[in-house]
Structure 1
Amino acid sequence: MRKANSYLDLVLNPFNLFRTKRILNINPTVIPQRKEPESINLYVYDYDAENIHEERLKNVKDCFTYKHSNRVTWINIDGLRRTDVEVICNHYGIHPLVQEDILSIGQRPKVDEIEGVMFCLLNMLYFNEKESAVEVEQISIVLGEQFVLSFQEDASRDVFNPLRDKIQFRQNKIRQSGTDYLFYTLIDLIVDSYFVVMERLSDKIETLEEDIVRNPNKRTLARINQLRKEMIVLKRNIAPVRDMVNGILRSESNLLEERTGKYFKDIYDHIVQANDLAENYRDMMMNLHDLYLSNVNLKMNEVMKVMAIVTCLLAPATVIGGLFGMNFDVIPYAHHRWGFYIACSLMVLIPLVMLYIFRRRGWF
């Protein structure tokens, strides 16, 4: 039944107007209508250069004991429930405005420093192969004196698994550094994931380009329109991150060590490159649209050329048949014993001569 409804939507709405509405109708001033999860996943990584303690907790209050551990503490919360966010933020002294931003929907990537903590909000991007769509998950990262808090919407996926693996090794730089380096690593993994999404979109664009050259049709135009919408999502989420990282670089916060600045410069280089690629992909989509229109017009011109040639070749036969079909009493060769054969010969011979002339002139 679901497959039938999906096919019906595809037939009635080939250009996916519902996707357009989801992309464009974003208003951060509207009170969020996010459905709160029944449960959350809360992981704590408390470590220093020598030891690490990893624990999965069921209640946010259980992580309060790590506030004064004198080690680096990373608390990752998958699933946003207002009560849990308010409890843990109040305990760690996070401003209510930051709490509202964490619980908001459709916020622009940004960085703020309020009351001794640095707050960073940006989006993780995923590519849905089934829907051929870019999916967005908002993530909030709070950097404090000895802690880093990360808040995610979806508990089923993220891009932090490489960090979880690296943090287990004693000699890894993450274990040898402070909270600012952990803060950098989280942002770096999110930015690097943008290139994975763009690579998948690049494959889709190349496939679409081949289809346009070989056999453009209405479905091809719908796919062009769909990919252009995904480019809007990509550009909207990547472009502001450059300003966000630039804000971190210009920050004079005591939470960021001077030696960590070169790592954020590396992120800045990556996000500039990602932004340039997003611009290139958008230009490619515009070029593909022009290529589609050119191929459709070329195909129509080919059809019109064939029809014009056929019309020209049939014109002599039409004229000869019309002359001998007139209602006159006296028509030359009308009653001649070879009149019919002469007329048929002319109907065949003249088009052949015309074909020869067209061929010599290179008209086809």
Structure 2
Amino acid sequence: MAKRILPIPHALNPFKPKKQRIMNYNPVTGMSSRKPAEVVKITVFDNSPDHAEEVVVQHVEQAFHYLETPGTSWINIDGIRKEEVHAICTRYGVHYLIEDDILNVGQRAKMDEMGEQLFCVLPMIYFNPTACTIEQEQVSIVLGKNFVISFQEDIKRDVFDPIRDKLRFNGSRIRSAGADYLCYALLDVIIDSYFVVLDKLGERIELMEDVVQHEANNRTLARINLLRRELLLFRRAISPVRELVNGFLRSESDLLNEHNTKYFKDVFDHIVHCSDLTENYRDMVINLQEQYHTQLNLKMNEVMKVLAVVTTLMAPLTVIAGIYGMNFDNMPELHSPNGYFVTISIMVVILIIMIFLFKKRGWF
């Protein structure tokens, strides 16, 4: 069976220093370092039990009238640009502190209550199979009385397609359960996507367990360190999400229907499970590092064993050759016509006897 090889990023070189990755940290009061999006896509889903409307608006002002509709509106903004964010936050009465959090990059996952609205920000995480790295974007969600507004950085990808499919399906619960249920559904699909990333990391760890057994070299160590670093970044990103979901459970806001509490509890169970899996994978990577060093030690022991056996076998032959190499005139065997052949024969016999004894004792 062909041996599977773990793919390695092209630029990965364990002997060459790499630039340090910028950690996800940006003070709330700091200026936004996000580059404004070139294209902003605004999608609106306006739903009620007997009505469904899906539209992509060209200008943010076209989404303002959905504040007055009787159903539940979901406004999803792909691409962050200050003009659009400020306009929609002003029209929907979103607090300016929430607006700052939406515009600032690198926010820690959190949940806040601002007046008659609930706000949460959390990472949406993807796995890049080409570079074997984790990529993430910041997602901000604002929950109001009859609306949910979500802000995403990447216009090309997200994990909300299952939500869109349910909103298009007549008779689905999400179309009639209210804005808080829609907010739960968005959180649930984001957190469920974490398990997809964990599965990919788990596959890499399983492959590395086989690679370490056969290829304990510097490239293998670089792969292990790459996995360890990605797990660290993943763990750092999702750890605060537990408190975010717990904030919804503790909240006494009128925006949250008591009947929907059980759904947020289910999301809390998911993020706890995800955190536990992350810790398990972290322990597995630590074990991989220990296994790598064990394999190195075993290889070194094998080398030392071979050298010790060769040295031991050659020791008596060296002694004999040293004795007969002395320049003394009065040596009985020195002038013997068959002395050379006798000496070589004795050396060969000693060598064979030592090899037999070592083999019998299981030393090689």
Asked if these proteins are the same fold (TM beyond 0.5), I'd say: yes
State yes or no: 1:213 paired with 2:218: no
Paired position in structure 2 for 1:26:
25
Could you give the per-residue CA deviations for residues 93-130 of structure 1, whole angstroms, max 9, x where no partner exists? Answer: 00010001111111111000101000011001000011
Give the % identical residues. 49
Change (3 A) 1:14 1:58: farther
Change (3 A) 1:80 1:14: farther
Once the 2 structures are TM-superposed, how far is the Cα of residue 361 of structure 1 from its aligned partner?
Answer: 2.2
Q: Which has the higher helix share?
A: 1
Distance in 1, Cα, partners of 2:250 & 2:17:
42
Match of 1:192, SS state, is helix
Q: How does 1:11-160 map to 2 (within 5 A)?
A: 11=13, 17-18=18-19, 21-24=20-23, 26-29=25-28, 30-160=30-160
Paired position in structure 2 for 1:199:
199
Distance in 1, Cα, partners of 2:22 & 2:196:
21
Distance in 1, Cα, partners of 2:360 & 2:325:
34
Once the 2 structures are TM-superposed, how far is the Cα of residue 23 of structure 1 from its aligned partner?
Answer: 4.5
Paired position in structure 2 for 1:271:
271
State yes or no: 1:288 paired with 2:272: no
Gaps of 5+ in 2: 1-8
Q: Is the 8 A contact 1:15 1:222 kept in 2?
A: no
Paired position in structure 1 for 2:317:
317
Paired position in structure 2 for 1:222:
222
Once the 2 structures are TM-superposed, how far is the Cα of residue 362 of structure 1 from its aligned partner?
Answer: 2.2
Q: Is the 8 A contact 1:112 1:119 kept in 2?
A: yes
Once the 2 structures are TM-superposed, how far is the Cα of residue 332 of structure 1 from its aligned partner?
Answer: 2.8
Distance in 2, Cα, partners of 1:16 & 1:234:
22
Paired position in structure 1 for 2:239:
239
Distance in 2, Cα, partners of 1:304 & 1:262:
63
Distance in 2, Cα, partners of 1:351 & 1:238:
65
Distance in 1, Cα, partners of 2:149 & 2:61:
14
Match of 1:75, SS state, is strand
TM-score, normalization: structure 2? Answer: 0.95
Q: Is the 8 A contact 1:14 1:222 kept in 2?
A: no
Distance in 1, Cα, partners of 2:169 & 2:332:
106
TM-score, normalization: structure 1? Answer: 0.95
Distance in 1, Cα, partners of 2:58 & 2:217:
54
Equivalent position amino acid for 1:215 in 2: E
Match of 2:275, SS state, is helix
Paired position in structure 2 for 1:3:
none
Distance in 2, Cα, partners of 1:196 & 1:230:
14
Equivalent position amino acid for 1:33 in 2: S
Equivalent position amino acid for 1:28 in 2: P
